[in-house]
């Protein structure tokens, strides 16, 4: 039972541990004045990008809900004294497919938004991301490290 709980926790939290964090952060980076000005985005571009983002976010939210429901079903199944292994595998497979679908929608959104940028705007966006990553790394390296504490 403990193994099952650890497996479930690792499935939920492990992907986040290795996820790339965009230096521009989540959300509507194209609406931030600094980014908008640096890329010289036009108002019609902003509108189109926002529309793309909204459409894909709706899809992603729907998939997130399905993933949560599947995890809830798996959690419920794992609480039974005798676990139906085939049913658990079926749910695990479904979760994997939904997570792949989630990632696919994110990638499609990025591609569609990229199509709204000129080559010059895209290059400036990539430069901006590199600059921000350098700042983040520099800030992270300058922070004093804390020793890890192991609690009993």
pLDDT digits (tens, 9 = 90+) for 103-137: 999 999 999 999 999 999 999 999 998 998 888 88
pLDDT, tens digit, 9 for 90 and up, residues 1-56: 444 444 444 444 444 433 345 656 667 889 999 899 999 999 999 999 999 999 99
* pLDDT value at residue 104: 96
* pLDDT value at residue 27: 72
* pLDDT value at residue 2: 46
Read off the pTM. 0.71
The alpha carbons of the chain give a radius of gyration, in whole angstroms, of 21
Domains of the chain (ranges; CATH) run 27-126 (1.20.120)
């Amino acid at each position: 039972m403990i193994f099952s709980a650890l497996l479930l926790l690792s499935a939920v939290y492990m992907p986040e541990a290795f996820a790339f964090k965009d230096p521009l952060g989540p959300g509507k980076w194209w609406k931030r004045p600094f980014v908008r000005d640096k890329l010289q985005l036009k108002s019609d571009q902003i509108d189109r990008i926002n529309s793309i983002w909204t459409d894909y976010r709706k899809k992603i939210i729907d998939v997130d809900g399905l993933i949560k429901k599947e995890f809830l079903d798996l959690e419920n199944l794992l609480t039974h004294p005798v676990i139906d292994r085939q049913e658990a595998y079926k749910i695990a497979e479904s979760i994997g497919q939904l997570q792949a679908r989630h990632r696919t929608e994110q990638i499609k959104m990025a591609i569609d938004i990229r199509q709204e940028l000129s080559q010059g705007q895209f290059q400036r966006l990539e430069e901006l991301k590199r600059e921000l990553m350098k700042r983040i790394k520099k800030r992270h390296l300058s922070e004093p490290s804390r020793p890890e504490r192991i609690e009993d």
